[in-house]
Amino acid sequence: MPWKEIATESEWTALLPKEHQSFLWSWKWGEAQESLGKKVKRIVFIHEDGTRLFAAQAIQQATFFALNYWMLPYGPFELTSATSEQCKQAITQLRDYFVDATFLRIEPRMPEEDYKELGLVPRRSYQPAVTRLIDLTQTEEELLAGMHSKTRYNARLAERHGVKVRVGNAQDIDRYIELEEETAKRDGFKPLSSRYVKKLFQELAPSGTIRLRLAEKEGVLLAASIEAVSIDTVTYLFGASSSEQREVMAPFALHFDAIKEAKSQGKHWYDLWGCNPESEEDIFYKPSWKGITRFKSGWGGELVRYAGTWDLPLQKKMYAWIQKIRNI
C-alpha cells in the first residue's frame, strides 16, 4: 500500500473530497507555493485493492544544512472511510516516501487516538485547529436568526451609514497591504510580507481561488479581507480594518456581504478560519484571540475542532538536535 505521486491537475482535482474541501489542498494553491520557490508533491495512499484512502499536498518548507522538512497542511486527509489500522499504515509509510526528509509536519484529518503511538510529536498549531463554520444551506432568515443580535444590528448599522462593499482587483492590493500594516501596528502583530500577499493574489486571483473584498465609505477604505475559495467553502483568510470611522461598523458589512455572496454562489460553508475553543483550559486557547473570537462567534455557525499540528520525526537524532538549537 504505497504512497504515489499524482502528476496532473485533472487527476488530483478529481480525487479531492467534494465536502469540506480545503483550499490548502487545491492544485492552484500548490502552484502558488511553487512560485514562491518551494517544492510541492501531491500524493495519494492506495490500498492493495486499488482504493485510494488518503491524500496530501506536501510543501517543502526548508532545506539548509541538515534540515529538510515538509508541511502537509490539513493532511493527510481521508478520501474514503478507512480503518484505524489503515490510518496507522498511511502515517507509517510516509517515512518510506519522504526518506530523505528530517521530519514531516502534518495535520492529519484522521482519528487522533493513535498519534502518539505512531511517534508523532505535538506542535504549536500551524493552520487553525479550531474554527467556526456557517452552514450556507440555511435560508437567509435562518442565517440571520443564528447571529447574535448585536452582530445583526451592526451589519444593518453599517448599511445605514452608507458603507459599500465590493470585490477588489489588482489595483486594490496595495491598499489592502497598507490597511493590514495599519491594523498590525494597532493590534500588535506582525503583518504578512507585501511580497507574499502580492504573489498570492497574482497567482490565485485569476482562477478565483482567492479574492479581495473591500468595505468603503465615500471611497475611503475602512475594512478589507482576502477570501480563499474551494468547491464548497469560502474561507475568511486574512483581514484588516482602519482606525478611522470605527463607529460605522465596516467589518460587519464586509462579512455579511461575503456570507451572502458565498450563499448565492451555491457554497455550503463560510469558514471564519481560526478562533478560540470554548474552554480556556484547551491547549489551543490563545488569550490574544479573545477579541477576534468574540467577533466571529457573533456570526453563529458551528465550532469545529481539528487535531492540530504534529511532527513526524524521520531522522530522530537529527530532529532532536534541531529542537535543541532552534525553535522551528
The answer for residues whose C-beta is within 8 angstroms of residue 289's C-beta and 6 or more apart is 274, 275, 276
Q: Are residues 288 and 160 in the same domain?
A: yes
The CA distance from 166 to 212, in Å, is 9
Give the DSSP H or E segment for 29.
helix 27-35
Which pLDDT score is estimated for 64? Answer: 74
Which pLDDT score is estimated for 321? Answer: 86
Angle, vertex CA 215, rays to CA 209 and CA 216, nearest 5: 140
The CA distance from 179 to 241, in Å, is 6
218-264 confidence digits (pLDDT tens): 999 999 999 999 999 999 999 999 999 999 999 999 999 999 999 99
Q: Are residues 91 and 139 in the same domain?
A: no
The pLDDT of residue 8 is above 70: yes
User: What CATH number is attached to the domain comprising 68?
Assistant: 3.40.630.30
Q: Are residues 155 and 252 in the same domain?
A: yes
Query: Domains in the chain: how many in total?
Result: 2
The answer for residues whose C-beta is within 8 angstroms of residue 248's C-beta and 6 or more apart is 157, 158, 161, 162, 163, 217, 222
Q: Are residues 262 and 314 in the same domain?
A: no
In percent, the amount of the chain with pLDDT more than 90 equals 85
Q: Are residues 16 and 86 in the same domain?
A: yes
Which pLDDT score is estimated for 110? Answer: 72
DSSP string computed for 140-206 = HHHHHHHS-HHHHHHHHHHHHTT-EEEE--GGGHHHHHHHHHHHHHHHT-PPPPHHHHHHHHHHHTT
Q: Are residues 97 and 162 in the same domain?
A: no
What is the maximum span of the chain, computed from C-alpha positions, in angstroms? 62
First to last CA, the chain: 32
Provide the pLDDT confidence category of residue 326 given band limits of 50, 70 and 90: low
**Within 13 Å and on the Cβ side, how many CA atoms surround 204?**
29
Q: Are residues 69 and 33 in the same domain?
A: yes
Q: Are residues 13 and 37 in the same domain?
A: yes
Which three-class secondary structure state does DSSP give residue 50?
A: coil
Q: Which domain holds residue 91?
A: 3-125+309-325
Across the chain, what does the average pLDDT equal?
A: 94
Considering only CA atoms, which of 144, 176, 161 is closest in space to residue 255? Answer: 144
Q: Are residues 134 and 121 in the same domain?
A: no
Q: Are residues 135 and 282 in the same domain?
A: yes
Which three-class secondary structure state does DSSP give residue 55?
A: strand
Q: Are residues 100 and 176 in the same domain?
A: no
97 with 78: CB under 8 angstroms?
Answer: no
274-294 confidence digits (pLDDT tens): 999 999 999 999 999 999 999
Which three-class secondary structure state does DSSP give residue 302?
A: strand
In percent, the amount of the chain with pLDDT more than 70 equals 98
The pLDDT of residue 73 is above 60: yes
Tell me whether residue 37 is exposed, middle or buried, using C-beta atoms within 10 angstroms of its C-beta: 0 to 12, 13 to 18, 19 or more: exposed
164-167/210-217 β-pairing = antiparallel
pTM for this predicted structure: 0.93
Q: Are residues 109 and 217 in the same domain?
A: no
